[in-house]
Amino acid sequence: MHSELIEIRTGGEERVVDLTSPIDDFLRGAGGGDGLLNVWVPHATAGIAVIETGAGSDTDLLAALKDLLPADDRWRHRHGSPGHGRDHVLPAFIPPSTSVPVLGGKLALGTWQSVCLVDTNVDNSVRSVRLSFLQG
């Protein structure tokens, strides 16, 4: 198994960050081949999604999360920015990990799919993402 922790700067704003390019770099360094990639975000307020980016889907996802999990005073978890409690509920909807098949050293994604970090927590501007490649 090959594993690496990468750092992602979100800039302290709600973001969907496409991880596909850094994942491709990681897989090149892992020697290619076939296997399974696990992407894990070790944070209580972020998740990993496989979605289309660049055509508005990432913005639509953030808008849907604002509708579903509004940043208001309804949350019992109250430290941090106003409405921060919703960030702690996010991983129940956008899980903190995903696994993707790797074939010939490349992610076996569909045409429009990207692996993305979803982060609604404006209090943390730097995130860690653990990439683990189990070669078959």
pLDDT, position 67:
96
Q: Specify the pTM.
A: 0.94
The domain limits of the chain are 2-135
Q: Which residue in the block uniquely carries the two structure tokens 């899980």?
A: 95
Contact in structure between 87 and 9 (CB atoms under 8 Å): no
Contact in structure between 75 and 85 (CB atoms under 8 Å): yes
| C-alpha span between 44 and 32 (Å, rounded) | 31
Q: Is the pLDDT at 81 greater than 90, yes or no?
A: no
Average pLDDT over residues 101-106: 97
Residue range 14-66, pLDDT digits in tens: 999 999 999 999 999 998 899 999 999 999 999 999 999 989 999 999 999 99
Token pair listed for 120: 């609604």
Q: Right CATH number for 2-135 from 2.60.120.460, 3.40.50.300, 3.30.2290.10, 3.30.565.10? A: 2.60.120.460
